[in-house]
Amino acid sequence: MNRNKIIVRPESENLWWGIYGFCEKTGWEDLNLFDENEKRIGGVCLNGKGYLRAGLDDLKNDPEEKEFVLAIEKYLADNKCHYWYYYDEKENEDLYEVPYLASKNNKGVKPRFMDIWHPDEGIGISTIDSAIKILAKEHLGITDCVVEIQNEGSFEDSLKSFKENEELFGGESKVEVKFTDELIEELSQHWKKPKDEVLKQLENSIK
């Protein structure tokens, strides 16, 4: 591929709830990827260490998950991105393979879908950015990649939807809003604005 821009469209509201600090950052997020001409590249599921660590003990009780458990343990002990691939059977009439470079299984089949296991505990803007840049380099042949995250929830709309979700499930609708240094830094890079402008924009969004 000779395009160096990848558009990323996350799917869930709770990604932004965690980014804005209303709750812990989500442990996984489905991402749809497109090139700069809006042609779909594919989809991946981005996972953080917190999510995979939380389910590890249950997986250890299932002998059929031995390979998966070993892969997770290796990943948790490491500090770089790992991948987990899902394959169709070669004989399947609905066989699908990703349209880019990816590891083939012992039957010579490329995966139909893949997870990216990122060394961050939870999923933030920088997590998505670094994961997609690594994916682009290792699977798409793009060494200088610009990542554009779309479907972004505004602070105000995300706060509203979080409160509604908490009320729906009997939680506390009052949310303590904090504009942390981490949030300001991450949004400053994402929005390409000075930190003082980011803080002012956030403060204005809840007046």
Tens of pLDDT, residues 2-43 = 458 999 999 999 999 999 999 999 999 999 999 999 999 999
Residue 193 has what pLDDT? 92
Distance (Å) of CA 103 to CA 30, 97, 114: 20, 11, 10
Tens of pLDDT, residues 139-159 = 999 988 999 999 998 899 999
CA angle 15, 24, 174 (to 5 degrees): 95
Instruction: Enumerate the domain spans of the chain.
Output: 5-153
Structure tokens at 152: 């972004």
Residue 204 has what pLDDT? 86
Q: Which residues contact 44 (CB under 8 A, 6 or more apart)?
A: 30, 31, 33, 113, 114, 115, 116, 135
Whether residue 206 has pLDDT greater than 80:
no
Tens of pLDDT, residues 99-125 = 888 889 999 999 999 999 999 999 999
